[in-house]
A and B are shown apart, each in its own frame.
Chain A
Amino acid sequence: MAAIPLIPADGQDARPACTNPPHHVMEQAAEWYALLISSEAVAADRQRWLAWLNADPSHRQAWTYVERVSQRILAPLRETPDPRLTTDNLHAAGQRVIRRRRALVRIASLAGVGVFGWLGWRQTPLSTLAAAWTADYRAATGEIRATVLSDGSRVWLNTASAFNQDFLPRLRRLHLVTGEILIETGTDKDRPFVVDTAEGRLRALGTRFTVRQEAGATLLAVYQGAVEIRTTGNAPAVVITAGHQARYTARAVAPATRADPAREAWIRGDLLANNLTLRELADELGRYTLGHIGVAPQVAQRRVFGTFPLRDVHSALALLAQAAQVKLQRPLPWWTTLVAADDAAAR
């Protein structure tokens, strides 16, 4: 189970819990949890929850217990090869619904607070979040999931991602709502496979590619076969072939560049840094955690090489500190800043 910066396990918590929050605050936290994981939760509930979280330090402290239960007890259960079997053994739980649900195979989970990271959702437009919460398939912040669609296509969801599936008699369509997916299309000559993003439609002419929804643009990287881009603004169609990637907006497709094979490593839970700057690497790691990762300007341009575990951002940061010869400052449990090694003592 990966560590989450929100809950340091190594005693670096700036505010050791000498006393527990009052019982009624613990109750409130549990009620928020129940509401937020339920399918009835709406965007306004997240806003109210955040307001509650920030209203009093004891609220945040109570919430850390929710997270700890989620990480330490619930996440390991979810990660068992078959949680249904596990929970059935624990208790004769209802089977039909769960079996249906198991169509979505979870390969890994950073679990944490599930679908509602407070920093994560604050930075995302509410409309997108609302769509993501009701999407057919989704992965929470810190999660990497794999799923198999009815046509045999395999889809991996990267952290904080969601997509809808719409399979028609003559068309297999996915709509990427937010985040990033890697697709290996199943063969079906009679039904083209397309992926829609805010900026346009991708038509799979081959088998393996990633699609990443960014703010105002989509990044496509093709690893096998080819993919055709048709933008919503009717720019001329462009075919991107294996080994290449291209970013497009509604109006234009940027020239293709070499696809970085490292971009594929996330499905195995690895972040490959091959000459990334510390800033780029921190931004990438930041996508997998609900906490904030900052970089001091003095060290932001340092180059980093190595492999970092995406499912354990806490360890990844410790490794990074070694690799880049920086120090970690953690003024708050959910706030990590990378600073020059000689700076840390002075502050």
Chain B
Amino acid sequence: MLEALQEIGALLRELPPKAAQAFLMAAVCEVPSADVATELGISPRMVRKYVAQVMLRCMLTEAGATARALQDPTFA
């Protein structure tokens, strides 16, 4: 539990605040994406984009990907 917290905490600090917020709300708290969108004042499409970006970052960490992959330019 503590380990998971530390891992994701470190990861989220590197992300744009809204991306991190959208991900925590949608993936951890299971808030419906429409509500996340309203709460953060962004479109549902943007919520999905943020969730995908953060998930990808987690996956790459999980995959032990190279530093180069982590700094992928497609991750804005």
Contact = CB atoms under 8 A, between A and B. Distances in A.
Chains A and B belong together in one complex: yes
A69 B58 contact: yes
A83 interface: yes
Interface string B9-52: 10010000100110011111111111110111000100111011
Contacts of B1: 76, 79-80
B53 to A, nearest CB: 7
Most buried by A among B55, B60, B72: B55
Given A26-B59, A93-B24, A84 B29 contact: yes
Given A30-B56, A33-B52, A40 B44 contact: yes
Interface of B is mostly: helix
A66 interface: yes
Interface in A72-115: 72-74, 76-80, 83-84, 86-87, 90-94, 96-98, 101-102
B21 A91 contact: yes
A30 B59 contact: yes
Interface of A is mostly: helix
A203 to B, nearest CB: 32
Nearest to A75: B4
B5 interface: yes
Interface residues of B, number: 44
Interface residues of A, number: 41
Interface of A: 20, 23, 26-27, 29-31, 33-35, 37-40, 62, 65-66, 68-69, 72-74, 76-80, 83-84, 86-87, 90-94, 96-98, 101-102
A279 B16 CA distance: 50
A69 B59 CA distance: 6
B20 A97 contact: no
A233 B53 CA distance: 51
Contacts of A91: 12, 17, 20-21, 24
Given A27-B52, A72-B4, 13 more contacts: A26-B60, A31-B48, A34-B55, A37-B51, A38-B44, A39-B33, A65-B62, A66-B55, A68-B59, A73-B7, A76-B5, A77-B8, A78-B28
Contacts of B31: 97-98, 101
16 contacts: A20-B63, A31-B48, A34-B49, A37-B30, A38-B26, A38-B47, A66-B55, A72-B4, A73-B8, A76-B1, A76-B5, A77-B5, A87-B29, A94-B25, A97-B35, A98-B31
Contacts of B72: 23
Contacts of B47: 38
Given A73-B8, A90-B9, A93-B21, A29 B59 contact: yes
Nearest to B53: A30
A143 to B, nearest CB: 11
Contacts of B34: 39-40
Given A38-B26, A97-B39, A68 B62 contact: yes
A101 B33 CA distance: 12
A30 B25 contact: no
A219 B14 CA distance: 51
A84 B31 CA distance: 11
A77 B28 contact: yes
A38 B63 contact: no
B52 A31 contact: yes
A233 B43 CA distance: 47
Contacts of A31: 48, 52
Given A38-B48, A65-B62, A33 B55 contact: yes
B35 to A, nearest CB: 5
Most buried by B among A35, A38, A92: A38
Contacts of A20: 63, 65
